Amino acid sequence: MGSEVKNPKNKPQLNPNWAQLRQKLNCHSSKPKSEAETLLSALGKRKERSNAESDDSQPNPLTPTSSDRSVTDAIAMDCEMVGVSPLGNKSALGRVTLVNKWGNVIYDEYVRPVDRVVDFRTKISGIRPQHLRKAKEFRVVQKKVAELIKGRILVGHALRNDLKALLLTHSKKDLRDTSEYQPFLNKEGRSKALRHLSAEFLGVKIQNGEHCPIEDARAAMLLYQRNKKEWEKSNKDFARLKEKQKKRKQKKKPKEIETSSSNNGTAAVS
């Protein structure tokens, strides 16, 4: 009996009526759309959806296209600095990143400077005190970087600053500096910031706030890779020109010696 009393409360027989009532309410609450209006609405939604999908689906050129993490013949480097000395105006290495030609990270370490850090320069470097608490010693990082870049093409932006911070040198013929490559200079012959080169030549915005050395190294490497053929050709042409100039100087020296000696001889006879 109890179950028979409870069954009417569930009202399963009202479900069809409720569906019919809701259908009638929907019909009276809104005006029916014409076929043209329905088609335009559908096309509009489809267009909005396709635009949204195209924006989201655009790949970032800085994203590596290969999972290869080997040490390639060309390596890009970027460093972030912190401030040492009493005023914090002297730069010291705080982080160094190396990526291979695919843009994959092959080395990325925070560095504990020899001197006490006064200014972490977090707004630009992205480095915070906790990053340096367990950071590697400068000498350890310096040695590893030297091993990785030895005999390889080194790519970067304003590499002289990074090498100076590392207390390292690198063969000039193996440097590919995006701050010095002639097609990347402005009309006055001055270097452009890496973020400007990235926006202009790669269509990618970087360094919006704290700098990411991985992103910066990838940007420099991609700038090199996309201009590699012309860049290497100009380097070879410049090397040939320097070699010709060197040979000309060597040929001139013996003639100058002969001329001076003959003049001396003539003077002695007179």
pLDDT, position 53: 47
Q: Which of 153, 32, 164, 19 is nearest to 99 (CA)?
A: 153
Would you say residue 34 lies in a domain? no
* Dihedral over Cα of 143, 149, 154, 155: its sign: negative
| pLDDT tens-place values along the chain, 270 residues long | 444 445 545 555 555 565 566 555 555 444 555 555 555 555 555 555 545 444 456 789 999 989 999 999 999 999 999 999 999 999 999 999 999 999 999 999 999 999 999 999 999 999 999 999 999 999 999 999 999 999 999 999 999 999 999 999 999 999 999 999 999 999 999 999 999 999 999 999 999 999 999 999 999 999 999 999 999 999 998 888 888 887 777 777 665 556 655 666 555 444
pLDDT, position 19: 57
Q: Is 268 left (phi over 0), alpha (psi -120 to 50) or beta?
A: alpha
Dist. CA 247–CA 242, nearest whole Å: 9
Contact 104, 138 (CB under 8 A): no
pLDDT, position 251: 74
pLDDT, position 52: 46
Contact 90, 83 (CB under 8 A): yes
Q: Which of 114, 122, 124, 123 is nearest to 84 (CA)?
A: 114
Scanning the structure block, which residue is given the tokens 């296209």?
65
Would you say residue 50 lies in a domain? no
Would you say residue 12 lies in a domain? no
This prediction has a pTM of: 0.71
One-letter amino acid of 176: R
Would you say residue 39 lies in a domain? no
pLDDT, position 250: 78
User: At CA 50, angle to CA 49 and CA 55, rounded to 5?
Assistant: 100
Strand order in the sheet with 136-137: 136-137, 105-112, 90-99, 74-84, 153-156, 175-177
Q: The domain that contains 83 carries what CATH number? A: 3.30.420.10
Domain of 165 in residue numbering reads as 74-238
Would you say residue 219 lies in a domain? yes
Would you say residue 226 lies in a domain? yes
As for how many domains the chain has, the answer is 1
Would you say residue 66 lies in a domain? no
Contact 135, 113 (CB under 8 A): no
Q: Spell out where 50-137 has E strands.
A: 74-84, 90-99, 105-112, 136-137
Would you say residue 168 lies in a domain? yes
Q: Which of 48, 39, 147, 142 is nearest to 96 (CA)?
A: 142
